[in-house]
Amino acid sequence: MANPPFRRPEGRPAPAPGLLRRIDAFARLAFPGVSTAVLMVLAAAPVSLPSPVLAAALPCVAFWTVFRPAAMSPPVTFALGLLMDLLTMAPLGAGVLVLLAVHAAALRLRRFLARQSFLAVWLAFCVAAVGAAALYWALQALLALRLPPIAPAMHGAMLAAGLYPLIALVLTRIHEAMRIAENTP
């Protein structure tokens, strides 16, 4: 887009950030983490679904890591993992490591994934979800020193895989809206 004629071409492209603009930017930066946390808290509400917290957290973390890594930074992922461990009865640290692993994998592959079609991303996410659930289960077994049943972990992975299109649909809309808002001066 063309710069306004009165601005020097080598200067900063945006005007000096005012309070509103700064709040706006901060809201955009904070939205992924906060929305994921809210979704996890809602998923932890007592309904009769098997392990929906992991299933709610995985798609959000993966999506935001691929499409907006600045907002889903490792510290945010860490905080979300801690929240997940506290919301569920898992041993402390297991959820943190699982979310960080998903985050790291998505970060490594994001340049490749961002160019793929939705279906390919979904397939990759399914593989990641099964891996994450297996890692989660293994960590729980290791930290509690007893074998928990594997069925809930697999249910969580399948639920995450099934929830991904739904969450991704909504998040894509929001992501587009944010990008448009960022690109207009």
What does the binding site for other proteins look like in residue numbers (CB under 8 A)?
41-42, 44-47, 73-75, 77-78, 81-83, 85-87, 91-94, 96-97, 100, 103-104, 107, 143
149/147 Cα distance (integer angstroms): 6
Nearer to other proteins, 44 or 134 (CB): 44
Taking CA atoms, 145 is separated from 48, 95, 101, 142, in Å, by 27, 16, 22, 5
| Minimum distance, C-beta of residue 90 to other proteins, in the bound complex (Å) | 9
How far apart are CB 96 and other proteins at their closest, in Å?
4
Find the length of the chain: 185
Which is nearer to other proteins, 97 or 109 (by Cβ)?
97
- Decide if 61 contacts 98 (C-beta within 8 A): no
Residue whose CB is less far from other proteins, 55 or 83:
83
Report CA torsion sign: 146, 152, 153, 154. Answer: positive
Q: Nearest approach, Cβ of 141 to other proteins (angstroms)?
A: 13
Whole-number Å distance between alpha carbons of 55 and 129: 8
Min separation Cβ 4 and other proteins, Å: 26
**Please, which residue, 33 or 168, has the CB nearer to other proteins?**
33
Q: What is the dihedral of CA 129, 112, 168, 174, to 10 degrees?
A: 140
